[in-house]
Structure 1
Amino acid sequence: MSVTHQKIALPWFRLGLLCIWFLSLGLRVWGLNRFNTLVFDEIYFARFGNNYLNHTPFFDAHPPLGKYLIAVSIALGGFNPTGYRWMNALVGSLLPLLVAWLAYQLTQRRSYGLIAGFLAAMDGLLLVESRYALINVYLLGFGLLGQVLILAALKRRGIGRILGMGLAGIAFGCCIAVKWNGLGLLLGLYLTWMVAKLLPLGQLKQSLVDRPWLRIRQWHLLELGVLIPAIAALTYGLLWIPHLQQNPGSDLLSLQRQILDYHKGIAHQAHTYCSPWYSWPLMLRPVSYFYQRAIELSEPMPVIGPSLPQTATRWIYDVHAMGNPLLWWFSSLAMVLLVVLLVQRCYRIFRSPQANLALLQAEGVWIPLYLVCNYAANLLPWAGVSRCLFIYHYMPASLFSFLGLAWLLEGGLKSGKQGERIVSITLLCLVAIALVYWLPIFLGLPFPQSEFRRFFWFPSWI
């Protein structure tokens, strides 16, 4: 009976993932060349990618891998809007699948994977970052892949386990070679492992050890302390070689110091759209990536010449780097609930370990633990950073808030209480409706000036 169920369920799981990917890809490639100009940090990253092709020396405030990938995009598509953006669109379309894969590795449940992937596909910031030659999507892609590979390797033995850990080390090395804050996606695993080791589990039966959410405890010290860091560091160093060959005046260590000094030198309020780290979960200060006013829709974008008078404006083109508001607010609330749930259950466990042994071995402790630790590892370190920060620095942490919301919604959908099922379905529908509602400012679609306030509910969003 179970075999028959698996044969029926698997195609639906794959079909669901395929639908999520088609939706994600379609939203990312539709009108990819809409603005024939460099948008936001494309003025750096697209040009830097082109510099690699032209062998032009330059200084970059981030490690080079993201620009290598943009260079590949330009080499295959030319230095034009579609040419330097298509690689981002492709990689960005895969992020919801990686989120779904991570959810599946954590629980071995397809329903959780599909809900998590769906929520990631509904996010506005992931969508915007995927449509321009920026580098955050590469950081997320390699970081998620590293986490998935480690979770998959933990259920293997022998050479398969070593190979999986090695590939994870390469993925994390690539993640950090995009931006240094990719370290948070590895730090989250270390934090989860340390907390897991503190819990008074004692000796577990083999049947319990094999539960997916308990495998993190089986991570060997040699693997996490030597193998993965060594391979990640080696990968990081090797990826600098092309950049060093093109810029022979600096060595690897001096470049790291220059990058660090550059970021230290950025003022706390160096940009109009700077925002403190604690404001990100509430999405208080998104970033405007593109803004233009036009009289007619037939005008090419961007409009060349002096700005139009406000009274002459009929249409607005705006691209805002902001999340899907309802998704972000629901996800932030979900993380608060998970923290409360985790603290409550850990208190019960430490107070009476033997009486709560079943709870200690249950998913209801370990999944919140994994998600809260990874969320904290990717958010809280920003509290110690004094330079100007932007809402896109929240992107790695936001993925774990989506996973947290998905876990709660899946529980509601599988609940025997009709009210919980209705709430879960309603929230999923509201998130999808919100994506459609704010889609014009995610895709840069024109809208009448009279509708401007429809999208920007708060003054801090403008």
Structure 2
Amino acid sequence: MFLTSRVFRWAGPLAVTLLAAVLRLWNLGRPHSLVFDETFYVKDAWSLFNNGYESAWPEGADALFAAGQTDVFLADPSFVVHPPLGKWLIALGMAFGGAEHSWAWRIATALIGVLAVVLLMLIARKLFGSTLLAVIAGFLLAIDGNAIVMSRVALLDNFVMFFALLGFGAVLLDRAWHATRLAARLARARDTGREPGWGPVLWWRPWLLAAGLAFGLACSVKWSGIYFLAAFGVYVVVVDALARRRAGLPFWLSAAVLKQAPATFLLIVPVAVATYLASWTGWFVTRGGYYRDWATLPGSAWSGALAWVPDSVQSFWHYQVAAYTYHVGLSTPHPYQANPLTWLFLTRPTSMYYRGSSLGENGCDVTTCSEAITGIANPLIWWAATAATFYLVYRLARYREWQVGLILMGLVAGYLPWLMYLNRTVFQFYTIAFEPYLILGLTFVIGFLLPRARWGVLGFLVAATLISAYFYPLWTGIQTPFQFWQLHIWLPGWR
């Protein structure tokens, strides 16, 4: 059968990758204007690339930038509240393709979106042991609207998603690495007649170092990456404890918490911290960044036992505190803000761009036309994944399957922390950070159903494909009749 053949093992993932690339790269420069928060990140990226720090811009800079006048940034610094890495990546695209081209603003997020599909397939193949399920997982992410939109606009969240998923994959690989080497160490000890009580400390765990790097990269794009670092740090300790219990160690819990956990901390956290600090290199090596010389101002520098700390470090710490204060206090009303309690139900997607035209305007050949970029997921995929998530919670409680626990930990890291900020201004598109784990959960359920309801699974995939084709114009800014746009308003909050 073709789906289990050697050819499919390559052709399936390759076809999905090509599909993801086409959906994300086709007509990427449309619209040629800064949409939604591109007004911040694109301009910040370009001034960061040129000055080494994010600069202020004059009044009307969006129109000037879109018109090709991209070097009108000022020398004065701008107060930005997100770390620099995501903006450096956006800037690389502009440096390669030219800042005057809108496709160059977005090429980095688009390529990351394609790579995320590839990475998800690799993870699903390792997690489920099935090329078919890996292809299904990649296909669902490839055609989903939230993933497509977030790959076609120059925002930061796609980078957070990718680096967090990279860390997730490293934790997955460490699980088998740790279990194999723990068993070998215990076997050697028992061969010598010693019965270990706590077991050894395993220091050489390269996949944990890789996880620390990946989660550090996520934190270097947005601070929300720290939730993935913390959640999977706890997860690794729990997995270590369970591995020691299965190995028959009498003091498995205390060994994992008191003996192995400190080593795990030193393997993950310092790498993540060093990665985060490295992302601020431009701020440290230049003099113009925001708060760069704060500690040199009269009465600002630390005194007493901390007076020895270099001025640059004091200024940097002050900047981080100011950014944190901004984040936790952000409550400016926005017409498209979405309470995190509603995210899983898709009640208020984010309108990134909308332009209405009358007959004869902007190529409109009917009475009224619409051009929209709406960050709405494929409703069938999203709601099915939400239902699958609730089923996985039940399944973990009943069967204790490690794959289910790992998938749910991704959701815990990406979603649950936002429930602490119900009064903060947040948006539906933040969900891209944990969407891969929704897809993995849905794929797990599909794998469970596939032998029992093959035609039902096929019908679901066909229906999801047709719905994506139906919504694709609203994800990519294609001009359509206004009535066509209205037909996509399935819920009141989708306007």
Return the TM-score normalized by structure 1: 0.83
Q: CA deviation at 1:188?
A: 3.7
Can you list the C-alpha shifts for 1:332-357, whole angstroms capped at 9, x where unaligned? 000111112222335xxxxxxxxxxx
Please point out which of 21, 36, 41 is paired with 1:40. Answer: 36
Q: Report the equivalent of 2:293.
A: 249
Q: CA deviation at 1:204?
A: 4.3
Q: Report the equivalent of 2:27.
A: 31
Q: Report the equivalent of 2:403.
A: 367
Can you list the C-alpha shifts for 1:20-48, whole angstroms capped at 9, x where unaligned? 11111111111111111101111000000
Q: Report the equivalent of 2:324.
A: 260
> Equivalent residue of 2:246, what SS?
coil
In the alignment, does 2:90 pair up with 1:70?
yes
> Equivalent residue of 1:455, what SS?
coil
Please point out which of 381, 388, 392 is paired with 1:327. Answer: 381
The one-letter code matched in structure 2 to 1:453 is: Q
- Structure 1 pair 143–50 and aligned structure 2 pair: CA distance change class (3 A): same
Can you list the C-alpha shifts for 1:100-156, whole angstroms capped at 9, x where unaligned? 122223233322221211111121111111111111111111111122123224434
CA contact (8 A) 1:316 1:449 kept: yes
Of the structure 1 ranges 285-294 and 247-256, higher mean CA displacement relative to structure 2 is found in 247-256
Identical counterparts, % of pairs = 27
Q: CA deviation at 1:264?
A: 2.5
In 1: Cα distance, 2:293 partner to 2:474 partner: 43
Q: Report the equivalent of 1:393.
A: 430
Q: Report the equivalent of 1:439.
A: 472
Can you list the C-alpha shifts for 1:203-227, whole angstroms capped at 9, x where unaligned? 349xxxxxxxxxx99x952453211
Please point out which of 137, 140, 146 is paired with 1:125. Answer: 146
Can you list the C-alpha shifts for 1:293-327, whole angstroms capped at 9, x where unaligned? 123577279xxxxxxxxxx9521101101111111
In 1: Cα distance, 2:382 partner to 2:29 partner: 28
CA contact (8 A) 2:233 2:265 kept: no
Q: Point out where structure 2 has 5 or more consecutive residues left out of the alignment.
A: 56-76, 182-201, 249-255, 295-314
> Equivalent residue of 1:134, what SS?
coil
- Structure 1 pair 68–300 and aligned structure 2 pair: CA distance change class (3 A): farther
- Residue correspondence of structure 1 range 268-287 to structure 2 within 5 A: 270-287=333-350
In 1: Cα distance, 2:232 partner to 2:389 partner: 17
In 1: Cα distance, 2:8 partner to 2:203 partner: 29
In the alignment, does 2:201 pair up with 1:181?
no
The one-letter code matched in structure 1 to 2:293 is: G
> Equivalent residue of 1:180, what SS?
coil
In 2: Cα distance, 1:152 partner to 1:193 partner: 11
Q: Report the equivalent of 1:212.
A: none
- Structure 1 pair 202–115 and aligned structure 2 pair: CA distance change class (3 A): same
> Equivalent residue of 2:264, what SS?
helix
- Residue correspondence of structure 1 range 296-335 to structure 2 within 5 A: 296=359, 299=362, 314-335=368-389
> Equivalent residue of 1:336, what SS?
helix
Can you list the C-alpha shifts for 1:217-245, whole angstroms capped at 9, x where unaligned? 9x952453211111001111111121333
- Structure 1 pair 376–322 and aligned structure 2 pair: CA distance change class (3 A): same
In the alignment, does 2:426 pair up with 1:382?
no
> Equivalent residue of 2:81, what SS?
coil
In 2: Cα distance, 1:266 partner to 1:426 partner: 44
The one-letter code matched in structure 1 to 2:480 is: F
The one-letter code matched in structure 1 to 2:424 is: R
Which structure: larger Rg? 2
Pairwise CA RMSD of aligned residues?
2.8
Please point out which of 426, 431, 437 is paired with 2:459. Answer: 426
Please point out which of 93, 96, 108 is paired with 1:87. Answer: 108
CA contact (8 A) 1:375 1:397 kept: yes
Q: CA deviation at 1:258?
A: 1.4
- Structure 1 pair 372–166 and aligned structure 2 pair: CA distance change class (3 A): closer
Q: CA deviation at 1:434?
A: 1.4
Aligned length: 413
Please point out which of 166, 169, 182 is paired with 2:212. Answer: 169
In 1: Cα distance, 2:136 partner to 2:173 partner: 20
Q: CA deviation at 1:437?
A: 1.2
- Structure 1 pair 339–163 and aligned structure 2 pair: CA distance change class (3 A): closer
CA contact (8 A) 1:145 1:171 kept: yes
- Structure 1 pair 200–70 and aligned structure 2 pair: CA distance change class (3 A): closer
In 2: Cα distance, 1:426 partner to 1:130 partner: 27
Please point out which of 442, 445, 449 is paired with 1:408. Answer: 445
CA contact (8 A) 1:147 1:186 kept: no
The one-letter code matched in structure 1 to 2:374 is: H
> Equivalent residue of 1:63, what SS?
coil
> Equivalent residue of 2:434, what SS?
helix
CA contact (8 A) 1:286 1:461 kept: yes
CA contact (8 A) 1:191 1:373 kept: no
In 2: Cα distance, 1:108 partner to 1:368 partner: 14
The one-letter code matched in structure 1 to 2:356 is: R
CA contact (8 A) 2:45 2:88 kept: yes
In 2: Cα distance, 1:107 partner to 1:380 partner: 25
In 2: Cα distance, 1:160 partner to 1:224 partner: 8
CA contact (8 A) 2:171 2:236 kept: no
In 1: Cα distance, 2:237 partner to 2:484 partner: 51
Q: CA deviation at 1:92?
A: 1.0
Can you list the C-alpha shifts for 1:398-446, whole angstroms capped at 9, x where unaligned? 2211101101112222x2x3xx222222222221111111111011111
- Structure 1 pair 223–406 and aligned structure 2 pair: CA distance change class (3 A): farther
In 2: Cα distance, 1:381 partner to 1:89 partner: 27
In 1: Cα distance, 2:337 partner to 2:220 partner: 24
The one-letter code matched in structure 2 to 1:242 is: G
Q: Point out where structure 1 has 5 or more consecutive residues left out of the alignment.
A: 206-215, 302-311, 347-364
- Structure 1 pair 224–393 and aligned structure 2 pair: CA distance change class (3 A): farther
Return the TM-score normalized by structure 2: 0.77
In 2: Cα distance, 1:244 partner to 1:119 partner: 42
Q: CA deviation at 1:271?
A: 0.7
CA contact (8 A) 2:157 2:433 kept: no
In 2: Cα distance, 1:90 partner to 1:384 partner: 32
In 2: Cα distance, 1:192 partner to 1:112 partner: 25
CA contact (8 A) 1:187 1:374 kept: no
- Structure 1 pair 369–295 and aligned structure 2 pair: CA distance change class (3 A): same
Please point out which of 223, 231, 234 is paired with 2:271. Answer: 231
In 2: Cα distance, 1:234 partner to 1:13 partner: 38
